[in-house]
Structure 1
Amino acid sequence: MDEKKKSNKGLFLALLFSVAALGVALVLCATIGKGFGASNNSSSKENYISAEKVQRQVKKILNLDEVKTVYDAQYQSTVKTRLEAMKKDYVCTFEEPLFVMNPFGTNVTGMYVYFKTSEAVNVEYTVSVADISIPEYTKTLYTDEDGNVVKKHEGQIIGLIQGKINTVTMRLYSDDGKFVGENTFKFDVPDYGTIKETELKVTNKQDSKKLSDGLFVIYGYDRRNTNEPKHMLFYDNDGVIRAEIPLAVTNGDVNMEFIDGKMFYACTDSSYALVNQLGQVESIYNTEGYTTHHDFDYDKENKRVLILATKKKSKSKQDIILSLNMSTGGIEEVIDFGNLMPDIKKGAVITADAPDREKIDWVHFNSIQVINGKHLILSSRELSSIIRINNYYTMPKIGYIISDSKIWEGTKYSSLVLKKKGTFTSQAGQHSVNYVTDASLKNGQYYLTFFNNNYAQRLSYPDFDWSFIKGAGTQNKDVDNSYYYKYLVDEKKGTYKLVEKVKVPYSSIVSNVQEYNGNRVICSGTAGVFGEYDKDGKLISKFKTKVTSLIYRVQKETMDGYWFN
């Protein structure tokens, strides 16, 4: 048997016995090449392994009746072992790369690719389909954190479209940017039935070139629709889906962090995954005894993740702060807000309108930010308050509260409310508070940006009088707008001031804002829309989804240093 036949047959057999993700297929594509650096515009017939056939092999290899989740250490290690065997046993060149569709099950259309070149190069690729409404998508394959040229190329090709024949053209460039050669491959990607909208409706109000580079990440797409798969969705500036991370969550699909170059996110309601650039889950962290919700933030100084949580055995909800030690995997309850504000919790009740009739939702935290590894900024929807906690890990204490002062009148916390500087309406039912620093600010000053829902509700205190919040929506009446708010906080003076306000579509609950590369990304969740605005608050592009309920949040990420160089 000649070497080429041996290579192709061996790879095919190896793929048969490799582990694949649920609902996806493995793909081997061998091209007719002309040697390293040659241009090739044709491709040979692809070999496909069906999802059903691969799943049968998965169950046989692992001796399982069914694969319940890809977020399993044994599952992930088995896939890694098979990939390493294929890489070692068979020659993978630029002419005949090894392609595997989503082997680890963490990116539905992420195409794993591996090959070697005789000289160190970078790899740029373009994904295109025969659909004029879907533009080409061009990126540079990730190599390492510094983007160095390499001889071994291993990563994920991002941007493939389900239900289409995808043409992928890979181009090689030397360290000085000189073009070396290219090769073209075609992949007939199945429709896995997981994406409702390949393309979002996009309305451009300004020059779309003003959009920042990156992918919009949608969290909680149609969250309350039980028929909708749970996933994080990545859309480009044209509103085209480019990646999908499957999850098994209820309220935890709210955020992602990059920790030491790896992606960290909630994969279930009580566990988190740390995933490398290839899509392999390297670690799974459990929060036994607690369910997580709404948000988390990485404390880089102490290598901890601070998590909003609910104690399963508690009669109250969404009032616990957990600390996850990334080194040991251990969790620790660092704050029980029932101990910090016992009188407020004691006065709360469960009303007929409460979504949970078993637990009291008296504070309802929806965002958390770590400051200098010592302090926290928390957003409480139920109290329409932004609360700072000092020394969160050693001796937690309320540092201040930002809200309309009338919310805290007659309580022992009224002296902690910062003074409003200027004439404006304070926030009502806010979400997604972000701590933003600026070198031009004085000591003790910083910005807080957030989505002001402009929604006055406090279900745990049903008789609370909200009449002092003028123009806000209520449970019985929607209003026209919510707002992007930016406060300047001066801790030394004990004041907060509204310095930026952008009118956005109304959303009574959920939603978020993000300052990103000079622009503002703003999601109005119940309206199912998000947009990118310039620094002056002018809409650049608006993206409309077809959700039946809501989207939870949208943030933008370049994904450089992870999927791309």
Structure 2
Amino acid sequence: MYEKKKSSKGLLIALLISVAALGIALVLCATIGSGFGKSKSSIKDESYIASELIQKQVMKSLNTDEVKTVYDEAYQSAVQAKLDELKEAYACSFKEPLFVMNPYGTNVTGLYVYFETKEATNVEYTVSADDVSIPDFTRTLYTDDEGNATKHHEGQIIGLMQGMTNTVTIRLYNKDSEFIGENTFSFDVPDYGTIKEEQLKVTNKQDSKKLSDGLFVIYGYDRRNEKEPKHMLFYDNDGFIRAEVPLNVTYGDVNLEIIDGKMFYACTDSSYALVNCAGQAETIYKTTGYTTHHDFDYDKENDRMIVLATKKKSKTKQDIILSLNLSSGNIEEVIDFGDLMPDIEKGAVISKDSPDQEEVDWVHFNSVQVINGKHLILSSRELSSIIRINNYYTMPKIAYIISDPEIWKGTKYSSLVLNKKGNFTSHAGQHSVNYVTDKSLKNGQYYLTFFNNNYAQRLSYPNFNWSFIKGAGTQNKDAKNSYYYKYLVDEKKGTYELVEKIKVPYSSIVSNAQEYEGNRIICSGKAGIFSEYDSNGKLISKYKMKVESLTYRVMKETMEGYWFN
């Protein structure tokens, strides 16, 4: 375990909380030269407002001497009230912005910025670390979904490096994208001791121009290593850490959604946060009576989040589908999968090899996709099956199953299995099934992309014979490889065929695959490796993590519409 280093500045004192390092509420009011054009700040110690001042005031207003979690609406509102006081107290102009390091506790190195301009402008910034080997990080500050110029500038500057002096250059452009002026500020950011890998090991890097834009988001970094903080990590294409969101999650930190300029993600095993672009967790949604796991997907048509869950005090696990109403916060159990396959659930047992000896893990859903606000695509690891549910909210019914037919042979569900078109090895133990449409496809056709773990295990049916899937890994023997699979599904013909396959490092469990801006992002979680491939399956760049156990998933996100325009 790496040790937490001391700050190089006596005024900078990290506040630790139960969810991870909250970081420092460091408020800076810079004194710089007047006028637009190029100028550089001369931030001095006396211009710091002590970091602990805001925290003490917040805790005093809440009548508490301990912050158990920042994911609390009362705590977030109290922080906002203090920020509003600061905005009133200072000029908060382009010459003298208000800077606050991680005031809400939701992004350890997220630098909150607020200032006003006389004319509507857009803001671009560049973060430069004092280590010249670290590339500059340039982005545009988020204003709204359309990227409109504004007089009011409030958000987070992303990309600062821990334990270094970071230079931040802010540039203004008018609504016609004409340059107006820039100012530069310097910040000594402490090493909070929360990041094990400032830079990931990057290998096989080909033409960097082939890499897609965005940040790699690591979910469940070194999961099962109890010494490792629970956090959602954001790395750039060069493998450098650019943001860190602290969490207190065991199984649910495997996704995020950007909804109307706010980020939705799991913050505990039974709650979700909706966080605005400035970093304030405006709403905390609780799934009382259930723990959540593995995945969720936004049903835009109905403004609901569809969540994979386990009912507390149940004899089974990971077999419930919840609907979370984002407007009211109400949750509703829309599917108990045991109602759709009661005989399969009834025949399942708790194996002696199962990590959980209290609940039967008979279906183990690990991903969900919403189609047109009506239907669901579910991935079941335990059944090595991809299952479509029609009319999930009104009258859920199994529409079809994609799997090797041997899995369902002799059951009443065998007629639901689509016909395999072509000669290829069936998937086993798959993860992260994604629904992908294409205008060139015919009606009733679409793609399903996923990580084929190539791992044959069904602990709830320990005597199940997997010999029909040749070369698959087992509990006693690893396979040579896992794969990225892309199926073309034709519902009218009742078929599916393998149209794309990429051989990747083997991972028996966890892992994911994502089709992103024409490339493929693929994570082999057990191996601690993720990579980006082009559309022809050629490796562009590989990233290796120093994990003791595994990493759950890695996806790529532009983060536009939240941090950036």
Q: TM-score range by the shorter chain?
A: over 0.9
Q: Does 1:302 align with 2:302?
A: yes
Distance 1:561 1:278, change over 3 A: same
What CA distance in whole angstroms lies between the structure 1 residues aligned with 2:119 and 2:564? 20
Counterpart residue number, 1:33: 32
What CA distance in whole angstroms lies between the structure 2 residues aligned with 1:22 and 1:456? 39
Counterpart residue number, 1:417: 417
Counterpart residue number, 1:564: 564
**CA apart distance, 1:22:** 5.6
Counterpart residue number, 1:23: 22
**CA apart distance, 1:50:** 6.2
Distance 1:51 1:100, change over 3 A: closer
What CA distance in whole angstroms lies between the structure 2 residues aligned with 1:30 and 1:83? 13
What CA distance in whole angstroms lies between the structure 2 residues aligned with 1:85 and 1:31? 17
What CA distance in whole angstroms lies between the structure 1 residues aligned with 2:391 and 2:300? 15
Counterpart residue number, 2:68: 68
SS of residue in 2 equivalent to 1:338: helix
SS of residue in 2 equivalent to 1:209: helix
SS of residue in 1 equivalent to 2:244: strand
Amino acid at match of 2:303: K
Amino acid at match of 1:23: L
Counterpart residue number, 1:219: 219
SS of residue in 1 equivalent to 2:96: coil
Distance 1:132 1:480, change over 3 A: farther
What CA distance in whole angstroms lies between the structure 2 residues aligned with 1:36 and 1:479? 65
Counterpart residue number, 2:155: 155
1:30–1:43: 8 Å Cα contact kept in structure 2? no
**CA apart distance, 1:169:** 0.9
What CA distance in whole angstroms lies between the structure 2 residues aligned with 1:345 and 1:440? 40
SS of residue in 2 equivalent to 1:91: coil
Counterpart residue number, 1:253: 253
What CA distance in whole angstroms lies between the structure 1 residues aligned with 2:539 and 2:299? 33
What CA distance in whole angstroms lies between the structure 2 residues aligned with 1:221 and 1:49? 34
Q: Does 1:240 align with 2:240?
A: yes
What CA distance in whole angstroms lies between the structure 2 residues aligned with 1:476 and 1:98? 58
What CA distance in whole angstroms lies between the structure 2 residues aligned with 1:491 and 1:157? 46
The equivalences for 1:343-422 within 5 A come to 343-422=343-422
Amino acid at match of 2:479: V
1:217–1:556: 8 Å Cα contact kept in structure 2? yes
**CA apart distance, 1:435:** 0.5
**CA apart distance, 1:65:** 3.0
The equivalences for 1:5-404 within 5 A come to 23-46=22-45, 47-48=47-48, 55-404=55-404
**CA apart distance, 1:48:** 4.5
Deviations 1:450-478 (A, max 9, x none): 00000000011111000110011110111
SS of residue in 2 equivalent to 1:23: strand
**CA apart distance, 1:49:** 5.8
The equivalences for 1:408-487 within 5 A come to 408-487=408-487
Amino acid at match of 1:34: G
**CA apart distance, 1:77:** 0.6
Deviations 1:133-155 (A, max 9, x none): 21110111112221122222111
Deviations 1:411-449 (A, max 9, x none): 010010000000001100000000011111111111000
Counterpart residue number, 2:543: 543
**CA apart distance, 1:122:** 1.5
SS of residue in 2 equivalent to 1:389: strand
Deviations 1:77-110 (A, max 9, x none): 1111111122223211111110001111111111
Amino acid at match of 2:278: L
Of residues 217-226 and 165-174 in structure 1, the stretch that sits farther from structure 2 once superposed is 165-174
Percent identity over paired residues? 76
Amino acid at match of 1:187: F
**CA apart distance, 1:533:** 0.6
What CA distance in whole angstroms lies between the structure 1 residues aligned with 2:181 and 2:90? 23
Provide the aligned C-alpha RMSD in A: 1.5
1:351–1:462: 8 Å Cα contact kept in structure 2? yes
SS of residue in 2 equivalent to 1:29: strand
2:456–2:473: 8 Å Cα contact kept in structure 1? yes
2:167–2:184: 8 Å Cα contact kept in structure 1? yes
Distance 1:409 1:387, change over 3 A: same
**CA apart distance, 1:57:** 3.9
1:434–1:449: 8 Å Cα contact kept in structure 2? yes
Distance 1:448 1:370, change over 3 A: same
What CA distance in whole angstroms lies between the structure 2 residues aligned with 1:251 and 1:227? 16
Structure 1's unaligned 5+ residue stretches are: 1-11, 13-20
TM-score (normalizing by structure 1): 0.94
What CA distance in whole angstroms lies between the structure 2 residues aligned with 1:335 and 1:361? 16
Of residues 115-124 and 364-373 in structure 1, the stretch that sits farther from structure 2 once superposed is 115-124
What CA distance in whole angstroms lies between the structure 1 residues aligned with 2:494 and 2:435? 17
**CA apart distance, 1:63:** 1.0
What CA distance in whole angstroms lies between the structure 1 residues aligned with 2:200 and 2:110? 20
Distance 1:36 1:155, change over 3 A: farther
**CA apart distance, 1:111:** 0.5
SS of residue in 1 equivalent to 2:301: coil
Deviations 1:285-333 (A, max 9, x none): 1110000000011111111111100001110000000111111111111
Structure 2's unaligned 5+ residue stretches are: 1-10, 12-19
Amino acid at match of 2:557: E
2:519–2:532: 8 Å Cα contact kept in structure 1? yes
SS of residue in 1 equivalent to 2:541: strand
1:389–1:398: 8 Å Cα contact kept in structure 2? yes
**CA apart distance, 1:180:** 1.5
1:29–1:185: 8 Å Cα contact kept in structure 2? no
Distance 1:279 1:358, change over 3 A: same
**CA apart distance, 1:129:** 1.0
Amino acid at match of 2:336: D
2:528–2:551: 8 Å Cα contact kept in structure 1? yes
What CA distance in whole angstroms lies between the structure 2 residues aligned with 1:143 and 1:396? 40
TM-score (normalizing by structure 2): 0.94
Amino acid at match of 2:91: V
Deviations 1:25-53 (A, max 9, x none): 22333444332313113423144466666
2:73–2:283: 8 Å Cα contact kept in structure 1? yes
Amino acid at match of 1:338: G
